[in-house]
Chain A
Amino acid sequence: MTPIESLTIPDAPTIARWRDDFPILRTRVHGKPLVYLDNGATTQKPTAVIEAERDYYMHANANVHRGVHWLSQRATRDYEGARARIASFLNAAEPEEIVFVRGTTEAINLVAQSDVRGRIKPGDEILISAMEHHSNIVPWQLVCEQTGAQLRVVPIDDSGTLDFEAYERMINARTRIVAVTHVSNALGTINPVERLIDIAHAHDVPVLLDGAQAVAHVPVDVRALDCDFYAFSGHKIYGPTGIGVLYAKANRLKAMPPWQGGGDMIRSVTFERTEYNDIPWKFEAGTPNIAGAIGLAVALDYVRAIGIEVIGRHEAQLLADATEAMRAVPRVRLIGTAQDKAAIVSFVHEDVHAHDVGTILDHCGVAVRAGHHCAMPVMQRFGVPATVRASFALYNTREDIDALVAAMRKVQEVFGR
């Protein structure tokens, strides 16, 4: 990090103000203050998001796109307004490029089934990486089973960095899509997505980015990236659960057949023939998660007001501090040491299983994830059954890292006797 950047790291009073925005952080766990370091699983919600959902149900609840009455029009305005704000957050060209889904998983399944399945042939290839979450593996395995296509996996090295040369070798004339994570949930690795996309586009291969772990931590500009698809979940960026986004270039969405049929995705229906709605509604069958969409837009407004670059600098400092602190803990080995990382510290203790570490940390009020992080191939790659993962967000502090280290001393104490 350059000295200029370090000058602009948000100070303690600023972080304290951010923390005040998240009421759950005042919770006590087992008689101790909650230290929430499981942000990779889900982030906490600021009051603004909680109030937005409440306000919607208190004052604006109605179904969208179908009512002539005042409330329905208001709900439609708020729902479509949310879409426009989300498009702006990602710098999409049009709000119509934003499809509301349940989350990243549904977004990837939508692309797999609607876009890729229809145009892939036996012997064609789908290219993913060895650091993918199950949600960016299994949807492609389904397509392979359905079509006879082949799943190919770009390896990663011992630091958790993508083998870029292998990627260049593996992409070829049979590749129909590249689907890679922007940031690894289990390792923290930030992939060089611009270069990955450039190479793919040179081969006329579209690219899907799994942005679940990225969108709350690094700037995402889908037009600058020139990615074809970008998927993320609302709940990992301080928004509600059950709402997520598939960004796709408009021309791609227009060419894709609907995935699910039902209400709202049609223009006219007879028993002989159905005419589909325009994008993005063609992909939003059924009553959507209206409150969730509105809450998500508020969450993105919240992030934008602070500034994703400011959050990124704060989290970079947390990552540096946490990495140094954990390296100093005896018998701890970090899993995922790429040069370019988001604020995720995954580790194993040489003598204590991740589950036992997780239980003792919880006892100290420190919430971490202990397990395979829905990335079992990553665990196999590193030869461990599970890791402990501390994942940070904008409201985490140096004190949280101290609490983690103190809790690791407790692990040593319990298991060292």
Chain B
Amino acid sequence: MSDLRELYQEVIFDHYRQPRNRGVLPHANHSAEGYNPLCGDRVTLYLIIEDGVVKDARFEGSGCAIATASASMMTEALKGRTEAQVRALFERFHEGVTTPPDVPLSVDPALGKLETLLGVREFPARIKCATLAWHTLLAALQDERGTVSTE
């Protein structure tokens, strides 16, 4: 039986209680709103991408511990990465959280502390909490509206 400690690791609590990069990002040139219709949780992601590199990332919205920690850690991980690197990170993370618990998983060291979120594998009902920010990220990368108004 899966252990709650696998899901709720200390790093996750840390990011839940003190989310990094929370708030509106003025002058963001990419943004998207993510929505989980299952629970009604929403997250809005703001990115500044210059010369194909993520210069800054912030998020808004309230969710469960998993969704909040995932968004917080993700925004940390994005900064300084190229769009191609960001997409590769999405793929690694998504594969990590959606691999069934009975299938061996070789964790990519590139995930860093995002690895702590892979505990959701044991809790199928919670996988969408972990991936909400990441799907929002893909939408934000495709967002071509230019600078998002903060009004």
Binding site for B on A (CB under 8 A): 30-31, 352-356, 358-360, 363, 370-372, 376, 379, 385-386, 414-415, 417
Assess whether B111 is interfacial by the CB under 8 Å rule: no
Which chain A positions have C-beta within 8 A of B41?
355, 385-386
A352 to B8, CA, bound (A): 12
A359 to B123, CA, bound (A): 8
Report the minimum CB–CB distance from B16 to chain A (whole Å): 9
A417 to B1, CA, bound (A): 22
- With A359-B125, A376-B40, A385-B40 already in contact, the answer to whether A353 and B4 are too (CB < 8 A) is no
Assess whether B97 is interfacial by the CB under 8 Å rule: no
- With A353-B65, A359-B123 already in contact, the answer to whether A414 and B8 are too (CB < 8 A) is yes
Q: Which residue of A lies closest to B63 (CB)?
A: A353
- With A353-B63, A356-B64 already in contact, the answer to whether A31 and B39 are too (CB < 8 A) is no
Assess whether B18 is interfacial by the CB under 8 Å rule: no
Report the minimum CB–CB distance from A34 to chain B (whole Å): 14
- With A371-B38, A371-B39, A376-B40 already in contact, the answer to whether A385 and B62 are too (CB < 8 A) is yes
- Most chain A CB neighbours (cut-off 10 Å) among B1, B65, B67: B65
Assess whether B74 is interfacial by the CB under 8 Å rule: no
> Would you call B40 and A360 a contact (CB within 8 A)?
no
- With A353-B63, A355-B64, A360-B4 already in contact, the answer to whether A415 and B39 are too (CB < 8 A) is no
Q: List which B14-66 residues lie within 8 A (CB) of chain A.
A: 38-42, 62-66
Report the minimum CB–CB distance from B63 to chain A (whole Å): 7
Assess whether B7 is interfacial by the CB under 8 Å rule: yes
Q: Which 5 A-B pairs have the closest CB atoms?
A: A353-B64, A355-B64, A372-B40, A371-B39, A356-B64
A371 to B63, CA, bound (A): 11
Report the minimum CB–CB distance from B67 to chain A (whole Å): 8
Number of B interface residues at 8 Å Cβ cutoff, please give it.
20
Cross-interface CB contact of B63 among A31, A370, A376, A385, cutoff 8 Å: A385
Report the minimum CB–CB distance from B120 to chain A (whole Å): 10
Question: Could you write out 26 A-B pairs with CB less than 8 Å apart?
Answer: A31-B1, A353-B62, A353-B65, A354-B39, A355-B39, A355-B41, A355-B63, A355-B126, A355-B129, A356-B64, A356-B65, A356-B66, A359-B123, A360-B4, A370-B39, A371-B39, A372-B39, A372-B40, A385-B41, A385-B62, A386-B39, A386-B41, A414-B8, A415-B8, A415-B13, A417-B13
Which chain B positions have C-beta within 8 A of A386?
39-41
A157 to B122, CA, bound (A): 41
Which chain B positions have C-beta within 8 A of A415?
8, 13, 65
Report the minimum CB–CB distance from A371 to chain B (whole Å): 5
> Would you call B39 and A385 a contact (CB within 8 A)?
yes
Report the minimum CB–CB distance from B129 to chain A (whole Å): 6
A249 to B39, CA, bound (A): 38
Report the minimum CB–CB distance from A385 to chain B (whole Å): 5
Q: Which residue of B lies closest to A362 (CB)?
A: B125
Q: Which residue of A lies closest to B7 (CB)?
A: A359
> Would you call B126 and A363 a contact (CB within 8 A)?
no
> Would you call B39 and A352 a contact (CB within 8 A)?
no
A31 to B67, CA, bound (A): 27
Which chain A positions have C-beta within 8 A of B40?
371-372, 376, 379, 385-386
Q: Which residue of A lies closest to B5 (CB)?
A: A414
Which chain A positions have C-beta within 8 A of B64?
353-356
Report the minimum CB–CB distance from B11 to chain A (whole Å): 13
Q: Which residue of B lies closest to A363 (CB)?
A: B4
- With A354-B39, A379-B40 already in contact, the answer to whether A359 and B63 are too (CB < 8 A) is no
A376 to B38, CA, bound (A): 11
Cross-interface CB contact of A414 among B4, B63, B129, cutoff 8 Å: B4
Q: List which B58-107 residues lie within 8 A (CB) of chain A.
A: 62-67
A414 to B10, CA, bound (A): 10
